Amino acid sequence: MILRPICGAVALLLSLNCAAELRVKSPAQICRLLADTQLRAGDWRQDDTGSQGCSSGTRPVSADVPAGSQIGYAAEGADDIPTRVTLTLGGISKADDDLAKRELVRASKRLAVRVLGLSMPHSAEESIMKGAPAKLEFGSGTLTIIRTAKAEGRYEMKVVMQ
């Protein structure tokens, strides 16, 4: 009888300690999280400025349109602990707009479950499909959607999880 409230209190305390951080703590693991979507990010490394992380090369969203939109993945951190992951969709034009956004949604859904511990909310999927910026807190962190205008009517979208 008294065990139930104690278990509830312990569970609450543990959940509060887990807030606002990525679930994946291993640099090697975070660099390979999206290998199943052809976005393996290579090895974790430190550059001359002291920044740490890994990044994939970009790949075309569609094999049918190699000069169309490109998608890439990167992870950043400090002291060999990953703190942020980013999916970048670049070179989006009206010709492949819908296909590119759907690919970003697909990769974002996989990444959200793996680094934040929950399925991506439908509102985030809607923001990506509309090309609208958003910031949502869910799971163990935050998901931010950023849209940046580029030349000739093109734009870039980023989904950042931290």
Structural domain of residue 86, as residue ranges?
20-161
pLDDT computed for residue 2 by the predictor: 55
pLDDT of residue 94: 77
Domain assignment of residue 15, yes or no: no
Asked if residue 158 has pLDDT above 70, the reply is: yes
This prediction's pTM: 0.83
Number of domains within the chain: 1
Query: 86-121 burial, b for 16+ CB within 10 Å, e for fewer?
Result: bbbbbbbbeebbebbbebbbebbebbbebbbeeebb
Question: Is residue 12 in a domain?
Answer: no
Kind of pairing between the strands at 81-92 and 155-161 = antiparallel
Q: How far apart are CA 89 and CA 154, in angstroms?
A: 11
